[in-house]
Structure 1
Amino acid sequence: MELEVVIPAVNEERRLPPTIAAAVDYLAGQPWSSAVVVVDNDSVDCTIDVPERFDNPVTPVHVIGCSEHGKGAAVRRGIVTSAARFIGFVDADSATPIETLDKVLPLLRDGYAAVIASRHISGSRCEQETALRRCGGWMFRRLARLSLPDIADTQCGFKFFDGPLVQNVAATCQVNGFAFDVELLARLVQAGGTVAEVPVSWSDVPGSTFSARRDGIRSMADVLRISLAR
């Protein structure tokens, strides 16, 4: 398999169908082999039933479970169970268009360990971001740069990796919450990998499970622990 696209999902029965449909439609038109893997993070709605609507022989759609709570845990499970040459994840809300892979795959083939979408580099466009999210994001970025000073945006939910390298790194990661991206990227860099950022057109889609008040403080504390552990 050339590429696997992981979608972590918890209670996403409403937002997941158009995301999978867009991914399958795009991937089925590409010349390389691919699959979509939904990681159900212990949902209590019908999320687990959604993928079977879209499975097809050209671009298979699989679902696996993850009983350990947290987006980081779900993404990590999707990575370590993959055997693809390139592995990545996208959010269930399609905030970043799947067509961004047009920019990502050539860079991975050129040897980058990670290619990530960035909302904070030239050429990017962000829409509908709330003031609270902008403020929290600014604070988080300041802390993340303690570990990753050369990366403008660690939190956009669209990241793709060299498969074997990220599998080795992910197996050593411990952060299960929303700051898992920082730990994963920091460990990739420490392992000698290079990271490229690509501009993106991003929109803040309603229905996110992330709460700035509930999850923000925990995420910032996790980032501080990551920087201190270096």
Structure 2
Amino acid sequence: MTLIESTSGTLKDPAVVPPGLPVQPSTPIQRSTGLRAPVDTHTAIPVLDVTIPVFNEERDLEECLRRLHGHLRESFPHGFRITVADNASTDGTLKIAERVARELPELAVVHLDEKGRGNALRKVWLASPSPVLAYMDVDLSTDLAALAPLLAPLISGHSDLAIGTRLTRNSRVVRGPKREFISRGYNLMLHSFMGARFSDAQCGFKAIRADVAQQILPHTMDNSWFFDTELLVLAERCGLRVHEVPVDWIDDPNSSVDVVRTALADIRGMVRLTRDLVSGRIPIPELRAALARGPLPASSRIAEQSPRSSLFGQLVRFAAIGAASTLAYVLIFLFCRGFMDPQLANFLALLVTAIANTGANRRFTFGIQGGNPVRHHFEGLIVFGIGLALTSGALALVHSTTTPDRWGELLTVVAANLAATAVRFLLFRLWVFRQPAAQSAEPTTQAKTRTETAAS
């Protein structure tokens, strides 16, 4: 990794920090007070360091840098730096960055021999002296008007990490249906499988406080696109405050990102991160003690994890989710039945809806938002196996006695699914989402202890 000095364009020593600026020291883990001090803006060190990761972006790079630089000069009232992180480009990207850096004193250029957005951000951010770190995609798909509300809560100490989101009601987004479907599907999986609460994992418009980044980044492993998700999941598990900013976003039709391959890599990343969290490779308790803002979010407190006790309320919510799941099952079954045999179509339709059904019932029917979603989904798949056995058996029986048409097959599996639904509710209530009595009683004990302490 080499740095190009902004004033001369010559290669410097393998450090990311420009000459004359001190290196940000590594912050030892200390127990959190739950508060963040405002950033000191009266300093010679740039308050903000915006990283632009690039790979073979010679066509868009110069326009991006000049536009971003002009925006910051006009609207950001503190010192700033723009760092171009060249990820082993093979075209003229590096030379263009060097030339622009000789004209703009706030521009630094880092050349890395390895590709990957996560690798670039981790290396640049860990070495940056700036107290606020941000990054955005080189195409500047996100309207820069969102930059000020992204940075303000970090500078004030209100929040620890800020992200742009394209998936809220107030966001304005222009992009194709394929990207929209993949993005929303991926975030649904994050919410269902990993208990994530942020709305948009992959928007290339994020910022983080350096004091927080120094402690979290060393525990991230992904060097590519999943880095964003990994960072956000760790932030939430550590009890940090994530601020979301609705953005105006226009898709770049010339983007070189392979959306499908990136989505598959993200799914592999989810599996790896889940394994790391379960195995204890990432020291979440220690990080939470060092970084969490006072009490953990409500979704992580035991008192908030107890199932909603009203049987009638659970039945109503379960029925509503079941109706939506049945409709989805019918549509998926009919679609798959057009090009595969009924047993396989039934398996795929039941698997997809079972995963979504477990996640929805976990969150809404039984009121569980923290805990261990991986275990719940594993047990949910066992329940799915019972439903599969019932529907597959019904299909096999009807095919052994007659030759049903497409609608006869559908009526058979829907009827079998209704029987499986009753079994699913009982298993969810009595096994999958059942909370031990000891845990239910613990909040009362804790409350009593706090009352006694206050009285003394």
TM-score of the pair, normalised by structure 2: 0.48
Q: What CA distance in whole angstroms lies between the structure 2 residues aligned with 1:8 and 1:104?
A: 19
The answer to whether residue 237 in structure 2 is matched with residue 198 in structure 1 is no
- 8 A Cα contact 2:182 2:263, kept in partner: yes
TM-aligned CA deviation for residue 192 of structure 1: 3.0
1:17 to 62, 81, 93: 62
- 8 A Cα contact 2:87 2:113, kept in partner: yes
Higher RCO (C-alpha under 8 Å, 6+ residues apart): 1
Q: Which has the higher strand share?
A: 1
TM-aligned CA deviation for residue 58 of structure 1: 7.4
Bigger drift between 200-209 and 211-220 goes to 211-220
| Counterpart mapping for 1:62-101 below 5 A | 62-101=108-147
The answer to whether residue 81 in structure 2 is matched with residue 35 in structure 1 is yes
Greater radius of gyration (CA): 2
Aligned partner of 1:4 in structure 2 is 49
Residues 160-205 of structure 1: per-residue CA shift (max 9 Å, x gap):
0101211321122101121110111122223332101001000111
2:198 to 146, 151, 166: 151
Aligned partner of 1:160 in structure 2 is 207
Q: What CA distance in whole angstroms lies between the structure 1 residues aligned with 2:103 and 2:238?
A: 36
Q: What CA distance in whole angstroms lies between the structure 1 residues aligned with 2:105 and 2:97?
A: 12
Q: Gapped runs of 5+ residues in structure 1?
A: none
Q: What CA distance in whole angstroms lies between the structure 2 residues aligned with 1:8 and 1:152?
A: 23
Q: What CA distance in whole angstroms lies between the structure 1 residues aligned with 2:105 and 2:142?
A: 20
- Secondary structure of the corresponding residue to residue 68 of structure 1: coil
Q: What CA distance in whole angstroms lies between the structure 2 residues aligned with 1:137 and 1:58?
A: 36
Q: Which has the higher helix share?
A: 2
The answer to whether residue 247 in structure 2 is matched with residue 211 in structure 1 is no
- Secondary structure of the corresponding residue to residue 219 of structure 2: coil
- 8 A Cα contact 2:165 2:200, kept in partner: yes
- 8 A Cα contact 2:196 2:236, kept in partner: no
2:172 to 119, 125, 128: 125
Q: Gapped runs of 5+ residues in structure 2?
A: 1-45, 278-456
Q: What CA distance in whole angstroms lies between the structure 2 residues aligned with 1:211 and 1:99?
A: 28
TM-aligned CA deviation for residue 46 of structure 1: 0.9
- Aligned-pair identity in percent equals 28
- 8 A Cα contact 1:8 1:75, kept in partner: yes
Change (3 A) 1:118 1:225: same
TM-aligned CA deviation for residue 110 of structure 1: 3.2
| Number of residues of Structure 1 aligned to a counterpart in Structure 2 | 229
Change (3 A) 1:99 1:84: same
TM-score of the pair, normalised by structure 1: 0.92
Which residue identity lines up with residue 226 of structure 2 in the other structure? Answer: A
